[in-house]
Amino acid sequence: MLEWKGERRALAILLGVSALLLFFGLGGREVWGPEVRWADIVLQMLQSHDYFDPYLNGAPYYDKPLLSYWLITAPASLFGLNHWTLRASSVLSALGSIWLVWWLGEHLLRKGTGLLAGWLLATTFYFLFWARVATADVLTVFGVLAAVAWYWRGPDDTRFSRYLGFCVILSLTSLCKGLIGFILPALVLAPHLFSAGRWRRHLNLRLLAALLLAGGVYAIPFLLSHLYGQPSYGESGLALVFRENVVRFFQPFDHQGPIYSYLIYLPVYTLPWAPLWIAGLWFAARRWKQLEPNARWLVWALVLLFLFFTASGSRRSYYVLPLVPFAQLLGAWWVIEYRHARGRTGIGRPWGRALAVAAVFMWLVLGIAYPWSNDGGGVMTFAREVRSQAERAAPWSQWRVLVLGDSDAKLPMYLNSRDEPQAHPFFYLRSGYPQSGSAALFAWLHERTGEDWNPQRTVIVTQAASHKDRPLAWLGADHRIIEAQPNNGQRLAHRPGEGSLAYLPVSTGAAVVEAATGKAAD
């Protein structure tokens, strides 16, 4: 009983510190990199109430299945689209992944392995970094670990309910990023299934029935999109699944890297603990025949995942994230085995101090330094200034946003996400619009769209190469300009801001209003 209480206390401390590292300062970093796509797609879903047709910058974009978007729209519909609701699913998946790594290590390997592996994963820089970014990658990591743990709870159990639970986990994981939700767990578990002919007992009709039902679960979002999506959408989700997962694997059309890419990316993505799993791999290779079966399975799982990703022609650094938990499990296994061979148990004080130092470092970088670097300027401050100035004339819900040329892709979220995701969506004009003045522009808009545009309730935004380059200078006659300023990080690096410009109306010229609404006198 005392031993069980000690284990629960150790697990509670691990998860508590992990939650601190994952959540602290989460709302302070502006939308970054690939999560811009998730933010923009979810925002347009909330605005249009169309949850079956994903759009990016107003254009169809079904490159990912719908579940990862729905995991954001659900909290965002209740609390508004913000950094917390955008990233909550990734953060919670990371926390669940740490718990699952602990469970796998404690149940399959020597006592203490799971606890150390959990700490290693919780203090791995790039795992924490991507866990705080709104993408589908950490969701996939969690799904793969959940499927593997479900299998190991009863590897010889042939009941239908066990099969169904396992297959549904595969379907849900695949609905986040793609078919790797099916492929990766199969690769990880293949060494154990094929040892001693275990696969034969699982080759039965109950498994086939479970696969068919799980396939139905997987098809539901695509079916809903077909039945209730817009007839003019023009993209097939299933066709893009094939393109993104099968065509990209054999005939990559982007993200092409050299075949040795993951020999670099995997050690980098497991820092600062990369030497541990490398030493564990060497240790296992030298003593292969003496290894216990579960340790051999772990090595095979890591090797097969590595070979699968290397075989793909499409390679990016963060594609190795599903390998990271298994690499840290291998590193923890080596440490515990090394200590056991010398008559020691548990993690030990030196490792405890090293993990504490790593945790503090991660907290300072991700929880303190990153949010600070995004403060004092940038797109968040720019959006607040634009809204504040506009709301002096009218509530923000009465305004529309017109994008002329290019704009910062992060801007829609910050201008529309406060508490009213139903606010007017952005209207994009890349080129072809008149540049002879406001009256001509809004008259042209009315003729093209058939809508009544109120120049006094329209914010015009664009992006310049530099703050000295003002591509819409002709609007200066009746608009004032708000410019984005560098944030703390950009000032520290002596870099300029990102060049976002907003033009707000300053007069109520009757001629402009009449021209825009088509109501000028004959």
Give the pLDDT confidence of 276-296 residue by residue, as tens digits.
Answer: 999 999 999 999 988 999 999
Our CA angle for 376, 94, 7, nearest 5°, is 120
| CB neighbourhood size of 454 (10 A) | 18
Separation in Å, CA 182 to CA 90, 187, 519: 19, 9, 60
Task: Tell me what the mean pLDDT of segment 340-349 comes to.
Answer: 77
pTM: 0.89
DSSP β-bridge partners for residue 402? 427, 460
For residue 34, name the pLDDT band (cuts at 50, 70, 90): confident
Q: Which of 443, 447, 441 is nearest to 460 (CA)?
A: 441
Q: Are 210 and 160 in contact (CB under 8 A)?
A: yes
The pair of structure tokens assigned to 368 is 């303190």
Q: How far apart are CA 169 and CA 473, in angstroms?
A: 55
Give the residue with greater pLDDT, 521 vs 111.
111
CA distance 340 to 162: 35
Helix (H, G, I), strand (E, B) or coil at 342: coil
**Cβ(168)–Cβ(214) below 8 Å:** yes
- For residue 429, give the 3-state DSSP assignment: strand
For range 61-80, the mean pLDDT? 89
Are the C-beta atoms of residues 30 and 374 closer than 8 Å to each other?
Answer: yes
- Mean predicted confidence (pLDDT) in 265-271: 95
pLDDT of residue 315: 78
The structure tokens 């039965």 sit at 204
Position 23 scores a pLDDT of 95
Place of tokens 């938990």: 325
CA angle 94, 126, 191 (to 5 degrees): 65
Q: Which of the two residues, 283 and 426, has the higher pLDDT score?
A: 283
**At residue 518, does pLDDT exceed 50?**
no
Phi, psi of 480 (to 5 degrees): -110, 155
Cα–Cα distance list, 8 to 4, 21, 155, 306 (Å): 6, 20, 25, 33
How would residue 465 be classed by pLDDT, with cut points 50, 70 and 90? low
Specify the pLDDT at position 470.
66
212 CA to centre of own chain: 29
List, in sequence order, the alpha helices (H) in 123-273.
125-131, 137-152, 160-174, 180-194, 205-228, 237-242, 248-250, 261-269
